[in-house]
Amino acid sequence: MKNLLLCAYSFTLLLPGFGGEIFLSSAGPIRTVLEARDAARAAAKPVRIVIAEGTYQIPETLALGAEDSQVTWSGKNAIFTAGKLITGWTKSERGLWKATLPENAWEFAFPKKRSALFIST
């Protein structure tokens, strides 16, 4: 059994932009951060990605490289989340919250014998 205490974070990107704009919105044709990045890569530079208020799930690493230069991101109250949903939380006899994870659900950087991750808030 693996025990995991959950920690969530969010951040907002507020950067100035120039030139053309790509609109990222849960209601628009471009709905994900990855789609916005890819659209900006195909657009004439410089370009700005304008992020509508809301929460955006990032299902994989958002990799940025040289092809993303001259691309700025702007928005207000945009939250980016990533990770896997952990369900089945129970409170242990010591008062800690724990959840059982499927085998090989995650790879942690520390040895298998120490396969618990604790996060203090």
Q: What is the reported pLDDT for 107?
A: 63
C-beta separation of 118 from 5 below 8 A: yes
Distance in angstroms between the alpha carbons of the first and the last residue of the chain: 23
The overall pTM is greater than 0.75: no
- Kindly report the number of other CB atoms within 10 A of residue 69's CB atom: 9
Q: Which positions of the chain have pLDDT values less than 50?
A: 1-18
Q: What is the reported pLDDT for 12?
A: 40
Q: What is the reported pLDDT for 35?
A: 94
C-beta separation of 71 from 40 below 8 A: yes
- How far apart are the C-alpha atoms of 26 and 6, rounded to whole Å? 26
SS3 of residue 104 by DSSP = coil
* Sequence-ordered strand ranges (E) for 13-112: 20-24, 47-51, 54-58, 71-75, 78-82, 90-91, 97-98
**Residue 55 amino acid letter:** T
